[in-house]
Every structure is written in structure tokens, then in C-alpha cells.
Chain A
Amino acid sequence: MTRPVMYTFRLYIAGEALNSAQALANLGALCRTHLPDRHRIEVVDVFLEPMRALADGIFMTPTLVKLAPLPVSKIVGTLSQTEPLLHALGLAVAMP
């Protein structure tokens, strides 16, 4: 078995907003279930770093950006629909 691929995520949230909290929770749960010990999550609060959000082209919150493995992909929303999300992250095939 090859070395497990490291997943790097960046999650843009809007402060204390409910959907942002949900997204954070859902992402955490997903990583724990499907990517134990092979994920890294960076959380960016657009209220605290608005210019960064502007530069990164983030207009909807919450937004999840998968930086690695390539290709980079963006997913907006609370990340509540697990099936399509896993498919999008390329994790669907890995599922038992």
C-alpha cells in the first residue's frame, strides 16, 4: 500500500454564523471518519481577514477549499450532504 495521501483543507467561515459552525463541525466529522490522521484543516474567518477572502475570491460562506491533493476544488455550504461531498473529494471509491 502506498503512502496515504495527505489532505489539506482551508475552510472560510463568517464569524459565529450558524452555517459556518455547522460546516466546521461537518468537516471535522468527515475527516475523522474518512481521513483519520491524514488531513490538515486551516480555518479563515472572513470577518477577521476580509482582504484575504477578497484576494482568494471567496464570496460565499462557508466555503471549503481542498488545496491538496490536486486539483484544487471549492465546495460551498454547510457540507451537510455527505454523499456528493465525498464524491467530489474523490473519497467515494475509497469507501468500503
Chain B
Amino acid sequence: MKAAQAIPVKKMSAKAPTGIAGLDEITGGGLPGGRTTLLVGGPGSGKTILALQFLAHGVQACREPGIFVAFEETSARIVANAESFGWNLAELQKKKLFFLDAQPCSDLLQSGDFDLGGMLAALDAQIKHMGARRIVFDALDIVLALLSDPVAKRREIYRLYEWLLARGLTGIITLKSGGDETSSITQEPFGFMQFMVDCAVILSHSVVLGVSQRGLRVLKYRGSGFDENEAPFLIGKTGFEVVVARTLDRVDVSVTSERVSSGVQRLDTMLGGGYYRGASILITGFSGTAKTTLSGAFAEAACKRGERTLFVSFDSDGTEVIRNLASVGIQLQRYVKNGRLRMVSARAITGSAETYLARIKTLAKEHGTRCLVIDPISTWSRSGTDMSAHSVAERLIDWSKASGTTLVCTRLLDEMSNLAEGSSPLQISTLVDTWIHLNYLVQAGERNRGLSIIKSRGTAHSNQVRELILSDAGVTLADTYTAGGEVLMGTLRWEKERAERAAHEANEVAVRLKRVKLDAEEAELEVRIKSLQVELMAKQLEKTVLVHATESREGEFSRSRTRMDELRGADAAKPEPAAKSP
């Protein structure tokens, strides 16, 4: 190790971001800058793509020119294969990205010992020429296979490693491993390489229950913490997509108290105004309980508000969904036409839950989605293991919250299972903000749809079971009648309503009759008051007349007494009052 000591140890510089969101998160910023990373994986595990994306990102985002040394595939083929990812390699290739075709030609003859000194010298010149900061040696195993003895292999690996360190290049060396990763990577010389490098990443590709699952794991990372778990990834439209669970240091997203309509007016009222913007809503129910209809109503309302919406159906084709929803007055066709609504049928797509999630995420990003409907999410538990489906559902909710997307997903309940969540492998009800349950209530030979809100975080919500009514005019909720502890629906409700109407009418008639009667009595009383008043007036008159008569009679009497006295010539002396009175 004398040679290694001769090289001054460079301080680990800042991390070199790979541009692969999940990977940068796992490694806390990227691959070790100025150091070497070993990338090991089986056939088709995505080593070349990851390495290429690392270079492309370096050129585009970090202004770090890169060199790609291709030992296996020709550069022309690599560029052509990566065309679909939209990295525009052909443009980058002109200046900042250099491909070195170092495939050993098939008719190459070998006679005795050789080394990589020539290539490194050539690369030195090229690095100086273009100021390269990143370098990838793709499929180093190919060239190592030409070296016959293990000592020579080890020597060349050291030569390469020291060369990289001395130049402070951020390097990736990719190596093939067999199908069984654990056995082959510990083999010489790969096992020894893992100890040498500063960072090692393993890509795996396994099949679980017939579903392909890709995983990425950081095995070691000198001088930095990293997420040690295997993270699922897939190769999507724009390259690598590593899926990481929410890490603790991620900032919470800002929440809003804005409400968005559920598309059913009375449901909004039940929820105290609608769903929260950015919330996750779960609609559970057996088949045929109008889960799709309810989510369709939400999609229509979102489109009406002018929000871009993505509707992912795992059950039926987009056109079928549109036709079926049109029968209940939910018109989605025009929004599909004007591009606001995108219908995606994922029925025919098979793949792991991871694939679905990544596809949905990509589609949602492309579409600029603000409202997302997934119908039904329970399909995921069919593909792959329950555990992975559950973690995918978790991440879906996490992602939708982070991106502020309002998510409505439906979940089909097993006909045999009851409401108990435990019967279903996909236990996401604890994660969602609002859980609406739809069920059938069988009563008096009828099956009616009942809607209840099981939970709704942060909102006062109605505790009542309502009847969900689908008609040509649309979706609405009806009040239910509670009689004898039972909820009445359908015909029973209608009968009850009719009975109430009749009772109401009878009541009204009675009231009217009573009013008429009272009116009559009132009128009678008024008449009596009038006649009494007249009588009173007569009495008063009589009294006046009486008083008057009395007065005049007394006056007359007095006057006639005076006259009589005068006539008698009587003296003025007044007679005794006693004598006067009769």
C-alpha cells in the first residue's frame, strides 16, 4: 500500500448530486465528491443508466463536465438507448460530455502482461482538455476479465483507484454481479473493491410473486450518514426514480384550510364545507356502492373549478367510466376534450405497486395535477406483496400531501369482510384525512346505499348515515328516517315521507277550521260589544232625560209655591221647613 500512502489524502469535498431525487436523499446530497463510488448490479439492473444520469446531471446542473468510459456497449448505442430519457446527450456530447469507446475488440490478441496505463494517460489528456470533474467506468469487469491472474486484476484496480483519487475526480465504477448479488460481489476482485472504495451502491432486481421489484441499497458511504434500507426504484420516463420513505428531517408541508367541493352539495354540508385542499380522502365500500360515482363527482367539481385533474381507473377504461358517470348526470367528456381532465386506464398495466406509484407520479407531474382520483387503490394489494402495497399507498399519500394534491382514492371491500379494517391488507385508513364509507342497507326487501363519514380530521362532520341517491340529475344525499332505532331508506323512507305529508295536510286543515271558528266567535263578540254599547248609550240618554225632568219639575214646584204665596199675600216669613215638607 506504499503507493496509496504516497498520495495526499484529499479532504472530502462537497457531495456530488446525482440528480436522482431519491438517491440524493438517501445519501444526504449525492455521491462523495472527489471520491470513487462502486456500483454493483446484475444484468439489466440499471447500472449504466444511473451512471449516465449522474454524468448528465453533472453537466446540466452542476457545470461539471464528464467522461464516460464504455467498456461494454458502444457509445453510440448508449446514447441511442438513453435518448428516451430526454437528457439530450447528443447536445451535451459536443462539449461537456465525452464518451470513450474502450471496448476490447473481438479479434484482440493477447500475448503476455499488459495494463491500463495507456488509457489513463489518454484520459488525463482528455480531462485536461475539457476540465472534466466526473468520470464513469462502465463495466470494468469486461477489461478485468482480460487479465489472467488475480494479482494483475488487483493491480489494475489499484491503479485506477489511485489515479481517480490523485485527480480528485468523482468517479463511478460499475461492475456486473450475477443474479445472486450476495455471493458474487464478495468474490475477488469485487469483494476487495468494496473495501477500497468510499461508497458502494448495490442495485438489485428480484421477482416477488411474479412481480418485478427493483431495489437500490447503499452498502457503505465513508464519512457520511445514509439511509441503510433498500429503497425501491424504477426506470421511468426521465430516468432513475428512487422511492424513499419520508425521512425525519424533511420539512412539513404548509397546510391550508381551503375547502374543495366533493361534488355533492349535501356531502359538503355534512363535512362542514367540503374536503380540505391537499387532503387524502378514502372512500370504501363493496362493489356497486357508487364509489366510482362519488369520486367522479369530485373530479367533475374539480374540473368545474378549473383545476387540472387526473383520474386513474384500475377497473375499467376511461371511456367506460365517462359513459357510466354520464348516466348519473356527471359529465366528464367535455373536460377530457379541453384537456383539463386526463383519464388513465391502468387495467391492462401489470407491475409492482411501485411501478404504479411512479407512473402515477410521473403522469400527475406531466399533467400539472391538482386533484387526483385513484379508483380503486385496492388493486395494489393484488400485485406484489401486501407489505409493499401498503408502503406504496403510504408514500402515495405522503407524496400527494407534499405536492398539495387533493387525493381521492377508493377501496373495494371484500364482500365477505365487514367494515372491520383489519380484514384488508391495505390499512391506510389511519393515514387518510377523511374516510367515507358506503354500504348497502338491506331492509324490507330493498338494498339501498348508505353513506357515512367515519372520520374527517379537523372538521366537524355529521354523524348521520345518509342515503345516497343516484339519478339522472346527479348524485344527492337524502335524509334518512330513524324509526325504532333503524334507519329507513328507499321505499320505507318514501312511505314515511308520504305518511308525514298526509299528517301534515290533515293538520293544516284542522288549523284552518279552528281559525274560521275563532273568527266567527270573534265576530260574534264584536257584535255583542256593539249592541251593548248602543244599550249603554240609551241608558245614559234615559238617565239624562230623567235628571232633566226631575230638575224642571222641582223648579216648577218652587216657582208655583212663590206664586201662590204672592197670591195669598202672605208675609215674607218662610214657613217652618217641617211644615213645608209633605
Contacts and interface: CB of A to CB of B under 8 A. Distances in A.
Nearest to A57: B101
A60 B108 CA distance: 11
A53 B101 contact: no
Contact of A54 (B100, B105, B111, B114): B100
A60 B116 contact: yes
A67 to B, nearest CB: 15
B125 interface: yes
A79 B115 contact: no
A19 B126 contact: no
B500 interface: no
A78 B152 CA distance: 13
Interface in B63-90: none
A73 B115 CA distance: 19
Nearest to A88: B109
Contacts of A85: 109, 111
A24 interface: no
B118 interface: yes
Interface string B299-319: 000000000000000000000
Interface in A55-90: 57-63, 73-81, 84-85, 88
B111 A61 contact: no
A81 B107 CA distance: 17
Contact of B108 (A61, A62, A74): A74
Interface string A12-32: 101101011011001000000
B567 interface: no
Interface residues of A, number: 34
A94 interface: no
Contact of B113 (A58, A59, A78): A78
B121 interface: yes
A58 B113 CA distance: 15
Nearest to B156: A60
B28 interface: no
B107 A50 contact: no
A5 interface: no
B110 interface: yes
A14 B117 contact: yes
A62 B114 contact: yes
Given A57-B101, A59-B102, A61-B117, A46 B122 contact: yes
B118 A84 contact: no
A53 B125 CA distance: 10
A77 B121 contact: no
Given A54-B100, A57-B101, A84-B109, A76 B114 contact: yes
B113 A51 contact: no
| Most chain B CB inside 10 Å of its own CB: which residue of A23, A50, A60, A88 | A60
Contacts of A74: 105, 107-109
Most A CB atoms within 10 A — which of B105, B108, B119?
B119
Given A51-B125, A54-B125, A57-B101, A46 B118 contact: yes
A86 to B, nearest CB: 10
A26 B113 CA distance: 12
Contact of A81 (B100, B102, B112, B126): B112
B124 interface: yes
A46 B117 contact: yes
A75 B122 contact: no
B374 to A, nearest CB: 51
A48 to B, nearest CB: 9
Nearest to A66: B109
A75 B104 CA distance: 11
B39 to A, nearest CB: 20
A17 B117 contact: yes
Contacts of A12: 118
A61 B118 contact: yes
B121 A80 contact: no
Contacts of A17: 115, 117
A14 B156 CA distance: 14
A85 to B, nearest CB: 5
A53 B126 CA distance: 11
A46 B340 CA distance: 61
Contacts of A78: 111-114
Contacts of B105: 74
A60 B109 contact: no
A63 B105 CA distance: 13
B122 A58 contact: yes
A84 B115 contact: no
A82 to B, nearest CB: 8
A88 B110 CA distance: 10
Contacts of B116: 59-61
A19 B115 CA distance: 8
A35 B124 CA distance: 36
Query: Which interface residue of A50, A59, A62, A88 has the most chain B CB atoms within 10 A?
Result: A59
A76 to B, nearest CB: 5
Nearest to A81: B111
A77 B117 contact: no
A53 B120 CA distance: 10
B112 A59 contact: no
A31 B492 CA distance: 110
Interface of A: 12, 14-15, 17, 19-20, 22-23, 26, 46-47, 50-51, 53-54, 57-63, 73-81, 84-85, 88
The 6 closest A-B pairs by CB, nearest first: A78-B112, A50-B125, A61-B118, A77-B112, A14-B117, A59-B119
6 contacts: A58-B119, A60-B116, A60-B146, A61-B114, A63-B114, A76-B146
Given A50-B124, A60-B104, 12 more contacts: A19-B113, A26-B112, A46-B118, A50-B125, A60-B114, A60-B119, A61-B121, A74-B107, A76-B109, A76-B110, A80-B111, A85-B111
